[in-house]
Structure 1
Amino acid sequence: MGDTDGPSRHPELRSFLESLRPGETLSGTVAAIERFGVFVALDDGPDHPVLPGTGFITVPELSWRRIESPSDAVRPGRRVSCAFLRFDPRNLEARLSLRALHPDPFQAFADRTPVGGRLRGRVTKLVPFGAFVRVADGIEGLVHLTELAPEPVADPAEAVRTGDEVAVTVIAIDRERRRLALSRRRA
């Protein structure tokens, strides 16, 4: 960006972005998808002089679910409504959230699931310290290596494989960090 395209040269855009309030709902069209997030061409306000859209959604703000790629959540040309999070003066853009307009499924799950409750789920991923198990739509919990089998195992692959259906017991729910600790050994 040269001097003529610098953020200070676009007072109309800056004024529009500064007028927005956190939580305000904005509508637009997905203009471009990058590995780091999604650009949104907003219905209101001026166009961005350089970027494909005046709005930007980071990957974590696209969905409450864990997604591998932004294209798992949206497609170019899709109409979206987003919550305004903040004005990013460095990039002269509105930071937006798709997920903020929807209830957090983890909190609803935590409301209806007691510690000690028994569930069934499917192993989605093995990691050196255990295995992740999907116990509800969009809800995954960790079965730590020490909780995978009645006898200690050094590698999660000694106890389970990706795709296995397993019985688990809820041993902890961390609402703030949105984490679920599970045990296969106690199930």
Structure 2
Amino acid sequence: MRAFLLGLGRGATHEGRVQSVHNFGVFVNLDGEPDDQCTGFIRGPELSWRRIDHPADAVTAGQRVVGEIIDIDTRRGQVQLSLKALQVDPLVPFTDQAGMVTTGQVTKLIPFGAFVRVADGVEGLVHNTEFRDEPVEHPGQIVSEGDEITVRIAEVDLVRRRLTLSAGNLPRNGKRSLL
């Protein structure tokens, strides 16, 4: 098994079959592994650019996958893979879109704002201070999960993977008035 692991390289792609799916990640039987042991592992955040609630939302046991090798631990006999590394980052097309007005669906309310999906795999935060001129105490006073609202892209931060949105002073498109 050690020789197999030493023959792998970071950044290379490798195929395998999902052996099991757990809350914390996915174990993969790697093709070519001589002892047929489960040596591949994909952490939840490395499964997809999309927000997923559980790894089973991205893969199923028995499914064939191709991932990029991001770490090899010869001592523990484990290879960490990333499916996300081989997918196009959906935030990149928004890099130069600051100021653009679009619509999106409210996906989650949190005490200080609301997350809004503006494209598949792309969600941004409308902070409570960005709903109207006066801040609101909780976004539930303005919107509900599932509402379709109009937002302005305020900032795109690729390094921190954040999309900052504003909903103040925009045309109404939701179930509730934002004014």
TM-score, normalization: structure 1? 0.86
Is the 8 Å Cα contact of residues 147 and 183 (structure 1) preserved in structure 2?
A: yes
Gaps of 5+ in 1: 1-12
Please state which structure has a larger fraction of its residues in helix. Answer: 1
Paired with 1:47 and 1:165, the residues of 2 have a C-alpha distance of 52
1:74 pairs, out of 53, 59, 73, with 59
Distance 1:120 1:19 in 2: 48
Judging changes above 3 Å, is the alpha-carbon distance between structure 1 residues 141 and 28 closer, same or farther for their aligned structure 2 residues? same
Structure 1 distance, partners of 2:89, 2:44, is: 16
Structure 1 residue 37 displacement after superposition: 0.4
Q: Percent identity?
A: 51
| 1:79 Cα offset (Å) | 0.6
Call closer, same or farther: CA 1:80–1:150 in 2, change over 3 Å. Answer: same
Q: Where does the alignment leave 5 or more consecutive residues of structure 2 unmatched?
A: 171-179
Q: Does 1:146 align with 2:129?
A: yes
Are 1:123 and 1:164, in contact at CA under 8 Å, matched by a contact in 2? yes
1:49-128 paired onto structure 2 within 5 Å: 53-111=38-96, 114-128=97-111
Structure 1 runs (4+) greater than 3 angstroms displaced: none
| Count of residue pairs brought into register by the alignment | 170
**Which of residues 122, 129, 142 in structure 2 aligns to 1:159?**
142
In the alignment, is residue 34 of structure 1 matched against residue 22 of structure 2?
A: yes
Structure 1 residue 121, shift from structure 2 partner: 0.5
Distance in 2 (alpha carbons) for counterparts of 1:176 and 1:47? 40
Root-mean-square deviation (CA), in Å? Answer: 1.4
Determine the C-alpha separation between the residues in 2 that align with 1:70 and 1:118.
33
Question: Structure 1 residue 24 and structure 2 residue 12: aligned?
Answer: yes
Offset of 1:177 from its aligned partner? 1.3
Give the aligned residue type for 2:121.
G
Give the Cα–Cα distance (whole angstroms) in 1 for the partners of residues 132 and 105 of structure 2: 16
Separation (CA, whole Å) in 2 of partners of 1:64 and 1:48: 29
SS of the equivalent of 1:169 reads strand
The answer as to whether partners of 2:94 and 2:156 remain within 8 angstroms in 1 is no
